[in-house]
Amino acid sequence: MSNAELETFAIEVVKTLKSAGFEAVFAGGCVRDRLMGIPPKDFDVATNALPDDVRRLFPRTVPVGEAFNVILVLSSHEENPFHVEVATFRKDVGIADGRHPAQVLSATAEEDVQRRDFTVNGMLYDPLEDKLLDWVGGQKDLKAKILRSIGEPHLRIDEDHLRMLRAIRFSSRFGFQIDPSLMTAIQSKASLIRKISAERIYEELTKILTGARADLAMDDLASSGLLEQLIPEALAMKGCEQPPEHHPEGDVWVHTLLLLKQCAGKSPEVGWAALLHDIAKPPTFSHTPGDRIRFNGHAELGAEMSVQILKRFKASNDLIECVHELVRDHLKFKDAPQMRPSTLKRWLRSPHFEKHLELHYIDCMACHQNLTLYEFCKSALANMPPDILRPPKLVDGNDLISMGFRPGPQFKEILDAVETEQLEQRLFERMAAIEFVKAKYGSLNR
């Protein structure tokens, strides 16, 4: 599906609604992106048609926010249909829980805009008449690169506390300055962010960590007070000195920001690992006279701290496991040239090794910029034939049983030992492997 095809379908949705006598316009992010020359990834349509009207006009619909009169309109494609979110103009009354209104009422298009978050997201566009509707000064703020709330910023934050994180994400994504009155409001209400669900916070933080200018966003998170509420462990990196011979760039905070600066488009695992890889340097800091600054055990402790932080945000087990491994092993590259062939091969073929390479690269570029170890491992992986990296098994569990061994924990030890001999290129044939097992384990587990 191309952006052009999606936009064509969205225009057809507007045309169908207007042909039936309703108002219909593009709303929100798609209008902002079009004005910035960015192809929108999705299209939202705002209308005065009620959900029942939308269902009547379109053959394929899915209710996605019935309490807020939101309907998903699907294209006729059987597989992977286009979809456009169609929402009835509304005005919100009262505050229920810091995320949702207490009551939703029908409204005009202009009233609908007034309940939205930021001026750059508050513009409407009629694609049939090529007409921009801007009652909040969004176009002016776009040109000035300012992120400003619609109306009073304290009230906008009280209505939806997540807007504080969204403000920082949008400002970093587009390179906008946050309006001072909005930043002041965020600073005064930062503690409210803890009322938002962990899952929604995780989603916003992940978008920040893998988006453009994540380093600037992290600085804003710190200065706004939000980082202290969400990941207070990270603030300890500020002012935590590092040995200048290895880290001429500065303290742990500066180093971490330099990694995050390179994370645009990276996977969530690499983004989180970039933030957390040195999270344990402050608690492991030591500096005795005559010795350089040390952080003994920071990779292992950092891996455990990463797990606890990610569990707070209810991240998936797969992501937690991967980030744990990336943080735990981020110093492993220094040992690669001295590794036994079997150890190196097992590491190179590990499921997350490409992410290890990505993290190591940005880690190096954020300090000494020496890529020798990165190139060593990358070259080793590229030049290792599959049958050398993952040799076919010479013996298996059935072979061990036929040799008289009883199934048990020792099976793995024996099979691993055989594979080690293969990876060290000392065993190549099945009979030789059987003789190896007999010689080393023949008298055991009989």
| pLDDT at residue 102 tops 70 | no
| pLDDT at residue 254 tops 90 | yes
- Of 81-85, 218-222, 226-230, 358-362, least confident by mean pLDDT is 81-85
Q: What would the pLDDT profile of 182-208 be if each residue is shown by its tens digit?
A: 999 999 999 999 999 999 999 999 999
- The total of other beta-carbon atoms located within 10 Å of residue 132's CB is 16
Confidence class for position 81, pLDDT limits 50, 70, 90:
confident
* pLDDT score at 163: 96
* pLDDT score at 101: 58
| 83 strand-pairing partners | 74
Distance CA 446, CA 444 (A): 6
> Using only C-alpha atoms, what is the Rg of the chain?
28
- Of 115-124, 333-342, 434-443, least confident by mean pLDDT is 434-443
- Of 33-47, 150-164, 303-317, 402-416, least confident by mean pLDDT is 402-416
Q: Percent of the chain beyond pLDDT 90? A: 83
- Of 99-103, 120-124, 163-167, 439-443, least confident by mean pLDDT is 99-103
Q: How is residue 39 written in tokens?
A: 């192809």
Q: What would the pLDDT profile of 150-164 be if each residue is shown by its tens digit?
A: 999 999 999 999 999
Confidence class for position 409, pLDDT limits 50, 70, 90:
confident
Side chain identity, residue 108: T
| pLDDT at residue 48 tops 70 | yes
Are 328 and 321 contacting, i.e. CB atoms less than 8 angstroms apart? no
- Of 1-5, 165-169, 184-188, 442-446, least confident by mean pLDDT is 442-446
Q: How many residues does the chain have?
A: 446
* pLDDT score at 67: 60
Confidence class for position 246, pLDDT limits 50, 70, 90:
confident
Q: Compute CA distances 242 → 237, 246, 281, whole Å.
A: 10, 8, 9
Distance CA 40, CA 436 (A): 62
> Got the DSSP string for 237-295?
TTT----TTT-TT-SHHHHHHHHHTT-TT--HHHHHHHHHTTTTHHHH-B--TTS--B-
267 contacts: CB under 8 Å, gap ≥ 6: 210, 355, 358
Are 54 and 86 contacting, i.e. CB atoms less than 8 angstroms apart? yes
| pLDDT at residue 365 tops 60 | yes
* pLDDT score at 13: 96
Q: Percent of the chain beyond pLDDT 70? A: 95
* pLDDT score at 98: 53
* pLDDT score at 292: 87
Distance CA 386, CA 376 (A): 18
* pLDDT score at 103: 54
* pLDDT score at 96: 56
